[in-house]
A and B are shown apart, each in its own frame.
Chain A
Amino acid sequence: MTPKTIEDFAKQEYKYGFRTDIEAETLPKGLTEETVRQISALKNEPDFMLQFRLKAFRHWQTMKEPTWANVHYPPIDYQDIIYYSAPKQAAKKLQSIEEVDPELRKTFERLGISLMEQKRLAGVAVDAIFDSVSVATSFKQKLLEAGVIFCPISEAVQKYPDLVKKYMGSVVPYTDNFFATLNSAVFSDGSFVYIPKNTRCPMELSTYFRINTEGSGQFERTLIIAEEGAYVSYLEGCTAPKFDTNQLHAAVVELVALDNAQIKYSTVQNWYSGDPKTGKGGIFNFVTKRGKCLGKNSKISWTQVETGSAITWKYPSCMLIGDNSVGEFYSVALTTNYQQADTGTKMTHIGKNTKSTIISKGISAGHATNNYRGAVEIKKSAAGARNFTQCDSLLVGAGCSANTFPYIDAQNSTAQVEHEASTSKISDDQLFYLRQRGISTEDAMGAIINGFCRDVFRELPGEFAVEATQLLGLKLEGAVG
């Protein structure tokens, strides 16, 4: 009888590890003020943007990489990174998606993302970002009819400079943290979304990020603005080829919700996580995501399913400024093999009767480490504020670990803060029980994991919930067996 142990569980091939051969326009490795100017020039940016970048770059030079997260990696050589790489064709303006280089189109099709509008599932508009640039945005026209702007941020800088000037850096200032500051200096593209007053965005918006060039970093920047009474649901997905070297992904996402506005932001992150046996290679995913509930009764929800990357360092947060505003964070973070994750959220309660909910589910298998780090801050002004936090960890096998670092700072005595935490293990007994009922090991494992993640998955838009379920299943395939 071959013994089946949980320890073997986390072995499965990364199916997005292929690389596209495409002619690219690439800046040489290294980062100087000149690099920053070149990026700005390549994008033909107005002066205000260049100045923003330069301020950030100069500030970044005075900063040190943070070390407080519970992750371990060799030092990053910031001069050994390509800061800009774009498929050649992107240099010229495309009239329609049909003009997109067929190689690129094929790449996205292999990833399950059709750029052709008629093939795309109805109801989802996609912005596809390949290395440093956006290659295509679908349904742009249809969205514009509703008054919704959905375009690459580089295009927004040209076309809507006032909005960009007003909001970029207003949530995550260029001085915020080492990686956000670096992003502010060198960001190359990303998505821009603007939902006008009292408008419900007619479809799901989605950005798909793909890193292709070896040695390149990806520094995208996303800005979403929901005016009074607006609603938008936005999804992002990410993959990268397999390389032996680590690649840096340092993104910034800023969300602004005005009075009665609602933004739902969902992520399914599946960057290459490194060689399963040695841990070599993989993406360093150092991301700053923050939303500002600026208006009263506004609401921002973050839902994330983090399954990839060698290292994830990410804390999607909410600043609850408007009275009665609501912040939510639903997270599933899966680490297998040699992956490390330090992820969580920060809810800052400033307005009266603000509410936040944090549901975090960490799953750790193989030799992986999974950390939840969360902060709940209730400021003096936040009378009647409420928070509920639940973080659960699930361990698969004996070689992994899970930690929880909750910080609570309540300065208003009328606030209510609740915190629940649990750690459990998928036991051989549970698996045996299900298998005794004729259920295969894989299905049994899937059922247990999905059961554990159910509270988060039901927050995902339908189609993505299915994808997330499958993704977790794939990731853990063969881990018992």
Chain B
Amino acid sequence: MADFSLWDILRNLLLALRWTVVLSLIAFIGGGIVGALLLFLRLRGGKAIGRAVGLYVQLFQGTPLLMQLFLAYFGIALFGVDVSAWTAASVALTLYTSAFLTEIWRGCVASIPKGQWEASGSLALSFGEQLRHVILPQAVKIAIAPTVGFLVQVIKGTALASVIGFVELTKAGSMISNATFKPFVVFSCVALLYFVLCFPVSLYAKNLERKSHGRRA
């Protein structure tokens, strides 16, 4: 058996890091799109739709992501569709992200004073125009900081995809530690890589938050 040096471990982990990044991006972008659609539905639709979206949010926020991944992986297969770990992880993380993002964004839209809606409505703007020209430009400013902050949650969430056999950073770490019998070194490296990935995002989010607070104060 070939000997693994520290560099070999790190190199293989770095290769696996790609998939963590890709999965995070899929979940974040997909979740953003679905979340925006849900937000639109919630703002536009009646009470029933609003409640349905609320239930959707509750469902994903109130169950462990691990269970959602299991359900996506084993549950979809139930209907005779063969799902790869890739598909299951992407679907589960996208839905999970969409539930959180739509809730965050709803809060941001709700924080826009009602007078803004009324004023733009009285200028005969349609619902779409109201959103596009009046509400969203203000809401987006408030939304950026918590959204970036949530990206850290998504990146950390992708670690759970390892349990359904998706080979990203954590899974690669387990495999390498099984092959090398150096779990201490390997998992230290894994943790370090996650930290390197997440910490700048956290700092950036904190910075944005400070800025937006300063602006409003």
Chains A and B form a bound pair = no
Give B residues with C-beta under 8 Å from A: none
